[in-house]
Amino acid sequence: MLGQVLAYAVHGSFSWSLFGGVQLLGVLDQLFIVFANDFADREADAINPSPTVLSGGSRVIQEGKLAPEALRKAAWIMLAAMLVVALVLALIHQLWWLPVLVLGGAGLLWAYSFAPLRLSYRGHGELLQGVGVGMLLPVIGFYAQAGSFEALPWLGLLPCFLLGYVGNLLTSLPDYPGDRAASKRTYAVRHGQFDARRHALEMLAVAIGFGWLVVGGLPWWGVAMIIAVPLVPVLAAARMLGSADAGNRGECLRFVFLGAGAANLAMLTWMAAALVQSLVQSLGQSLV
């Protein structure tokens, strides 16, 4: 959605049919990721002593509700459906880069969860989520609506990358005991729970502080607004910095929700700022 709003703000055109197609791609991508990760993480999830609503898998394999092979097939079906949707949109709207971008996202998931790289276990899988969720998805949305990469705020993808990176870090915090038991080298396992939380808040603050790269040309008060609003949950999470270990389940989850809320608020304020800026410019041109 962020990428599509930025495209509208820059180019002034918007297609609801393309919006629907891109959002459908997003749903299929989400299902592909969930099914593939549940299959890839089935052994680690089986020894996770503290699964939560945010992490530890869906538990359908561990509870005997589905066979691993069913999830593997479902992941392939979702990937195939994504490619079909991308190809249809490419043929109708001449968006020839769209299938390439979709395949690129699938490649990032493969490198994250499956051999030979399997970076979610070997370490630094956060980089892949930063690139995939933080950068690739906004690029897909922008390209689909704009029909090109012209005027894409490339530097603005850096704060988006940080939000995707932190998203991976945050959702792994409740899984710390299980990840250690499974030798899964997540950020918290590599650096410790306290430093992982501290670094998450620091990176969120940096991403929010550089939101003016995402939406350029804002007045000083506009920049102040897109910084101040998403910083509120960051400051609230900072109060739990020293006590939100995975063993303190409720507080750990509250910390994660506040961090994720800050990231979503940042994107919402960027979208709102881009829309307001576009509206003001349109009104100014019509008055002239």
pLDDT tens sequence across 70-102: 999 999 999 999 999 999 999 999 999 999 999
> Residue 67 and residue 78: Cα distance in Å, rounded?
17
Per-residue pLDDT band for 49 (boundaries 50, 70, 90) equals low
Structure confidence at residue 255 as a pLDDT band (50, 70, 90) = very high
**Above 90 in pLDDT, residue 112?**
yes
Which parts of 47-124 fold into alpha helices (H)? Answer: 68-93, 98-113, 119-122
In the predicted model, what is the mean pLDDT of the chain? 93
pLDDT at 73: 97
Amino acid 288: pLDDT: 59
Q: Over range 123-127, report the average pLDDT.
A: 94
| Two structure tokens written together for 44 | 């680690």
Q: For 267, phi and psi rounded to 5 degrees? A: -65, -40
Tokens coding 230: 């998403």
Q: Is the pLDDT of residue 280 over 90?
A: no
Q: How far apart are CA 34 and CA 162, in angstroms?
A: 22
Owner of token pair 């710390």: 176
**What whole-number percentage of the chain has pLDDT above 70?**
98
- Closest Cα partner for 192 from 178, 173, 205? 173
